[in-house]
Amino acid sequence: MTNNERLAEELRKRQLHLLRHQVSVRAELDRFLALLDKAIVASIVTIAPSEPMREAYRRQRLDKLIAAVADSIKATYADMQSYHRREMQQLADVEAGYLVQAVNDLLDKSPVAFALSASEALSLVDTALISGAPMKDWWAEQSRTMRKRFSQEMRMGFIGGESDADLVRRVRGSKELGYADGLMEVSRRMARMLVRGAGSAVVSATRKKLVGDNPDVFEGIQQISVLDGRTSHTCVAYAGKVWAVPGYKPIGHSLPYNGGTPRHPNCRSTEIPVIRDDFGGGPADDVDFDTFLDGKPQALVDQLLGKGRAELYQTGQITLAELVDQNGRPLTLEQLRNIR
């Protein structure tokens, strides 16, 4: 096995740990949204736009409700963005430290020097693109979207003569549909999608900077895709492809780099550094997940996936898509920092 193949093995394992960290981030953002949910419901009950009274006063209360909740949404999303930005800054720092050790452990000597100052890590986070836009723009758009949808839902409920309980149901969803039809659940899904995209973008940006800062050791960047029935056609086509750094010129193919991963919402692909031939022995082949697990000790598989989840996957009771989400196995930044 070449050094590039060994590095690819290590970074495939790392990807599972990074997905567990995303679970931790999602849980914290869900906490923000749960507090916002309570604040919105309290505003509906306090201002009571459906309370019987002359229509002019009811409209005034409706407008007051929409304005008050808009302020709550703005404040909450500003706090969510600040938390997420700090978390991604620290993730970049953690990943930088991990990469140096992972690469130098593979090589006979230690030629890789790489570290991020706090300002460099923050700059990397702020400039990392998710589907062509920086993270702050995505948070701003989610805030605007939620405010607009809340206003629309309340006005539709008002026109339909709905009670306050009906208006709350528009926010929280209906029990019959598992609360999946409510405004808050839509917001949670959008936030979770952003968590995956941002985590992937920051890790990819950190690895690209490692490659760029050590041109004597690395020659390029390679996409590694999660190959299963849910893999997008784009990521199937890009699986295993390599681009030279700097410039991102395709090596051995004609596909443009186009910013790299994540390549689309909920993208599960990642990028790995490619060590030069004199150190690494050529790029690694991309493999499907079963091939990646094949031959590994059961103890290692249990450690990577979680004992119960590993058994469910290996006996066909859960799919790869359900497995790699790593729901229920959160990993904090400090725990991630200590995994080598």
Place of tokens 């979770």: 192
Please report the beta strands in the chain, taking only residues with DSSP state E, as ranges in sequence order. Answer: 129-130, 133-134, 218-224, 242-244, 250-251, 270-275
pLDDT tens profile 100-111? 999 988 887 667
pTM of this structure: 0.84
Q: Which residue did the predictor score with more confidence, 85 or 160?
A: 85
Smallest CA-to-CA distance from 59 within 150, 154, 171, 149 is with 154
Number of domains in the chain: 1
Q: What is the DSSP letter of 294?
A: T
In this structure, what token pair is assigned to residue 290?
């079963």
Q: What is the DSSP letter of 286?
A: P
Smallest CA-to-CA distance from 271 within 245, 304, 291 is with 245
* Confidence band for 167, pLDDT divided at 50, 70 and 90: very high
For 118, the domain range is: 3-337
pLDDT tens profile 232-262? 778 878 888 899 988 999 998 888 998 888 8
User: Are 233 and 283 a contacting pair, CB within 8 Å?
Assistant: no
In this structure, what token pair is assigned to residue 236?
């199937």
